[in-house]
Amino acid sequence: MIHTFNLHVPAHPGSLISRTIAKGSAIVSNSDMPHQNGLRGFLIYYEGNIYGAANMTRFVERALSAAGRMRERYPTAAMMRAAAADLKQIGTFHYPSSTLSICDGEAFRQWAGEEPPTD
């Protein structure tokens, strides 16, 4: 079972990804499945808390929701296939521990609207 997920932001302003997914959404993928079932690109799940749930105000909480859905292959409208060129990996998310590891703090800040974790 998957435990570590890649975290992404849209690679290009104005792209389909950036127009479809709410700014600040946690976007996760499993890089082990780039061509699942013969389809090209990555399967991504995302969570933007567009309905204002009190338990998903922080990015890490949105990442937990998106990763949990992907891990269980939960059916949701908040998933899509995306070309690798449309995504920029900014880190990883470890599911059981809810740990964010951010490698591009500036891209994280611009997309998530919060400071990256420091631990």
pLDDT in tens, 52-94: 999 999 999 999 999 999 999 999 999 998 888 899 999 999 9
In whole angstroms, give the CA distance from residue 22 to residue 41.
20
Residue 71 counted as domain residue: yes
Residue 117, in any domain of the structure: no
Structural element, H or E, at residue 66: helix 59-72
Residue 67 structural domain: 4-112
Q: Write out the two tokens for 74.
A: 């939960």
- The answer to whether residue 118 sits within a structural domain is no
- Cβ-based neighbours of 91, under 8 Å, separated by 6 or more: 6, 7, 100, 101, 102, 103, 104, 108, 116
- In a domain, residue 26? The reply is yes
Residue 8: inside a domain: yes
Distance, CA of 33 to CA of 51 (rounded, Å): 30
| pLDDT of 13 over the 60 cut | yes
Provide the domain count of the chain.
1
Domain membership of residue 119 (yes or no) is no
The pLDDT value given to residue 35: 47
